[in-house]
Amino acid sequence: MSLSPADCPLCAGPGGETVWRDALCRVVWIDEPDYPGYCRVILNEHVREMTDLPEEERHRLMRVVFAVEAALRELMQPDKVNLASLGNQVPHLHWHVIPRYRADRHYPDPVWAPPRRPPRPMSVDAADLKQRLARAVAVLLAPPE
């Protein structure tokens, strides 16, 4: 895996619609009709593995991942939240945070598996959900007063 930062889509662009960011990382909304609420937490720098990060930054990155998970649980009550860090195709640290439901297209498989069911977009107001998610994540990650 020799993708250089110059060829990296997560260095070239935000990788989705940014709903929160700080100096270390960003939370982006993935426009995926089968999976409303699908977010990625993407490190701002081109770093390959979690253990390439200083320990404090690892913890900080996971704190953001967990804030997104908590916000999605509160807003969407999914049957399960999938957290995944693969990076086989794009070796730039990013975490997938995916709300899952027993009736979704791939359940109980990962979303990258062949689908088990036809598309059945959920009746969710994505724009509203995105706004509420952005607010909830910002509250959870707000520095203590």
Least distance in angstroms from the C-beta of 1 to Zn ion: 12
Interacting span for Zn ion (CB under 5 A) from 72-80, 90-98, 107-115, 129-137: 90-98
Q: What angle do CA 96, 1, 87 make, to 5 degrees?
A: 5
Our CB check for Zn ion shows the closer of 3 and 129 to be 3
Nearest in space to 37 (alpha carbons), one of 133, 137, 140: 133
Residue 107 near residue 116, CB atoms below 8 Å:
yes
Least distance in angstroms from the C-beta of 21 to Zn ion: 15
User: Considering only residues 11, 24, 75, 129, which one is a binding residue for Zn ion as defined by CB under 5 A?
Assistant: 11
Site for Zn ion in 24-63 (CB under 5 A): 46
Alpha carbons within 13 A on the beta-carbon side of 67: 24
Our CB check for Zn ion shows the closer of 12 and 139 to be 12
Least distance in angstroms from the C-beta of 32 to Zn ion: 21
Q: Does 92 participate in binding Zn ion (rule CB under 5 A)?
A: yes
Query: What DSSP letter does each residue of 35-99 carry, written as one string?
Result: STT-EEEEESS----GGGS-HHHHHHHHHHHHHHHHHHHHHH--SEEEEE---SSS-S-EEEEEE
Residue nearest to Zn ion (CB): 8
Our CB check for Zn ion shows the closer of 21 and 46 to be 46
Interaction site with Zn ion (CB under 5 A)? 5, 8, 10-11, 46, 92
